[in-house]
Amino acid sequence: MAILVTPETKVLVQGITGSFGARHARLSLEYGTSVVAGVTPGKGGQMFDGKVPIFDTVAEAVKETGATASAVFVPPAFAADAILEGVDAGLDLVVCITEGIPVNDMVKVKRAMEGRKTRLIGPNCPGIVTPGDGKDSHGGCRIGIAPGYIHRKGHIGVVSRSGTLTYEAVWQLTCRGVGQSTCVGIGGDPVNGTSHLDVLKMFNDDPDTHGIILIGEIGGSAEEEAAEWVRQHCKKPVAGFIAGATAPPGRRMGHAGAIVSGGKGTAKAKIEAFKAAGIGVAETPSEMADTLLRMM
């Protein structure tokens, strides 16, 4: 098993004809992911790369192909609409890669998703990878923009806000011969669909995940909430790293949500919460994998 997606998951790509969406749809296909449909309003009936049918609406794509998950690559101004179209079509999972969505659009999206079955990952995230059995983890499910080949099938769950910092952790594991169950990038925006805590709970319940790397960064209090839950409920070893200890207060560090404001969201407070919860804290980002492996 794994969490959220398996190699069998049928994926559609919203915005498959844009340059970014097309590039990553191709990379997912090469990785062996079953990308079964694309959606671009106005291009229904065409084929993507001669093998993936394009539909005008998500509902049609779901009906015709049985897709249950979506990757959203549409521009920021249209992303809220694209996410809610996926929700309306009854998808299990919508992964929104788009960066730069207005915060109030996401406030509305989260409100509209209340009581619906769809889970949203992101926005402004690298997506999800459940590695496959093949060479360089080929044959897995890749939704988003992560490099597939750095993964290896195994039993460590990785959850992080950041893309490249996730790749760094995954690569450290893979280089040590340790594989991953699923790697989830939840995104760097202040309002996102799925929190560190949500993913931790899934990893905790997944029999195939034996240890967890939890990567946080300055801003908000999601890491503290996750740590408190780990302290009380988590049955598996968790190692973590918090980025941004050197970031000056009041400045946004690239990610819209990565800001220390009003004395809240500091790396220090998050690291203390991790330590209090028994989470192994990596002293430097170079030691994320080793910190976890020492605990296992």
Q: Residue 115 interacts with other proteins (CB under 8 A)? A: no
Least distance from other proteins to the Cβ atom of residue 23, Å? 8
Least distance from other proteins to the Cβ atom of residue 66, Å? 28
Are 157 and 226 a contacting pair, CB within 8 Å?
no
Residues 6 or more apart from 214 whose CB is under 8 A from it? 159, 160, 196, 200, 223, 226, 230, 238, 239, 240, 274, 279
Active-site position among 24, 138, 196, 255: 255
Strand-pairing partners, residue 238, are: 212
24 is catalytic: no
Q: Residue 220 interacts with other proteins (CB under 8 A)? A: yes
Strand-pairing partners, residue 94, are: 70, 120
Rounded to whole angstroms, the Cα distance separating 215 from 61 reads 35
Q: Residue 286 interacts with other proteins (CB under 8 A)? A: yes
Site for other proteins in 72-101 (CB under 8 A): 76-77, 100-101
Q: Residue 245 interacts with other proteins (CB under 8 A)? A: yes
Task: Report phi then psi at 35, rounded to 5.
Answer: -85, 110
Q: Residue 287 interacts with other proteins (CB under 8 A)? A: yes
Are 182 and 2 a contacting pair, CB within 8 Å?
yes
Q: Residue 184 interacts with other proteins (CB under 8 A)? A: no
C-alpha 33: how far from its chain's center? Answer: 16
Q: Residue 29 interacts with other proteins (CB under 8 A)? A: no
- Is the Cα dihedral 233, 239, 242, 246 positive or negative? positive
Rounded to whole angstroms, the Cα distance separating 18 from 73 reads 8
Q: Residue 150 interacts with other proteins (CB under 8 A)? A: yes
Least distance from other proteins to the Cβ atom of residue 45, Å? 30
Q: Residue 253 interacts with other proteins (CB under 8 A)? A: yes
Identify which of residues 118 and 162 has a Cβ nearer to other proteins in the complex: 162
Least distance from other proteins to the Cβ atom of residue 1, Å? 25
Residues in contact with other proteins by the rule CB under 8 A: 24, 27, 76-77, 100-108, 110-112, 145-147, 149-150, 160-168, 171, 188, 190-191, 215, 217-222, 225, 241, 243-248, 251, 253-258, 262-263, 267, 283-287
